[in-house]
Structures are given as C-alpha cells and as structure tokens.
Structure 1
Amino acid sequence: MRTAPRRPAHRSARQPDDGLQRERSGGRRRSQRYPRTAELFTELSDASPEFREPWAEHRLKDKTHGRYVYRHPVVGELDLGFETLRLPDDPDQALIAHTVEEDSPSHTALRLLAGWAHETLPTG
C-alpha cells in the first residue's frame, strides 16, 4: 500500500476509481489505535494528493463488495470482483476474496499468470 498512491507507475496500474481511494483510506479509525498505522497515513498524506484529499474530507467508507479493474504489464486488463468478510468480534481483521467470471478474458489472464508463476518460482 505504501507505494500505490506515491508512484505514478502504481497509480496507472488501476483504472481511475474515486471509490477505491476512499475505500483504501478507510483505516482512519484504526490509525487512532495503532501509532505505526497513523505514521503510515501521515506519510501517505504528505506524499499524495490522491490520498490526502479524501482522507482530509472524511469521505471514508468500508466497502464490503465491488469490482476492481487492474492493468497488468504482461496480461493487460484484469476485471476482479471482491467480497470483504469481517469477523463480528474483530472487525479489524478481514478476508478479501477476489473472483473472476469463468471463461472471461480476466480468467484467461489469471490462468496465464498462475502458469507462469508455477514455471518460474522456485519450489521447496
């Protein structure tokens, strides 16, 4: 997360989405309890107007589902759905599941990336 709003190459990896930045900024309530998190948000605010503006305006929300579109440098555009699952007794913990539609271009691209990773990553 640290590099995403600060480096232009990382910003261009996602399609513009005002809601995505607001969602990523949603850690304000957690930052008050965790000093290192507060330090990270200060660093991001100092480095990025794309982060600073929604953070300062308190236009923050916790998104539970939706879609992201990423541009991968090798396989191109990936259209991913997501669901965020939180534990009722510990809302700071979350499991985020990403999905793609079967036989879609994104599904094909992810299978290509998975095969490539399997071939290139060391085993054992």
Structure 2
Amino acid sequence: MKTENQFVMGILTTLIWDSGLGKENYMDVIRKVSVVLIVVALVSFVGGFAYAEHKAKVNINTATVEELMSLKGIGERKAESIVEHREAVGSFTTIDGLKDVKGVGDGIYNKIKDMIAIE
C-alpha cells in the first residue's frame, strides 16, 4: 500500500513523463522548483524584517524628523511641527499629548498610537 507522499510523487512523476519532458528534463524541473521555493523563502524572510522594523515603536520624545516621518500620515511638515512643539513645550508626558501638535488630530493619532511611545 502506497503512502500519501508516494502517491503524490507517483502522480507528479507520471505527469512529467507523460508531458514529454523525459528523464533529462525531470532534474531541470526539480532544480527550477527548488529555485522558486528558495526565492519565496528569501522574500518571506526579508518581509519579516520589514515588518519587524515597522513594529518597533517610535519614541516621540527623542525621534528625529526622519524617524517621525516613518509613521503613517506624518509627512515632513508634521514631523517638524512635532519636534518644534517638543522643543517649545517640553517632552510629551503621554502619547495623547501628540494631539496638541498643530496638524495632528484624532485621525492621525488613531493611525499611529500603537506605533509610538514616550520612553
């Protein structure tokens, strides 16, 4: 009695042989599939790093304009306003204090509140 893996391999082998690829090309197919799987694994791996980078919280009390601009909805002008507000008023005591900055309302705050910190 064949196992499930043997059954699947039997079907794949039959399809490849019946397609006229022959034994020489069978190894080429395996190589190509292997390359595709490696590329998919690498893309997933790099994508994980990108996600981890965005998952790190931005400290609004120490962030540069460039770091603030990495937040969704914060462009250069708003980032500059945040830094100017921080320099004029002092450090934020809560993340809600960000809403006191001109141009940062509830909408933007709600988009970034999980990505910011004050420590």
Structure 2 length-normalised TM: 0.21
Higher relative contact order (CA 8 A, sep 6+): 2
- Structure 1 or 2: more strand by fraction: 1
Taking structure 1 as the reference length, the TM-score comes to: 0.20
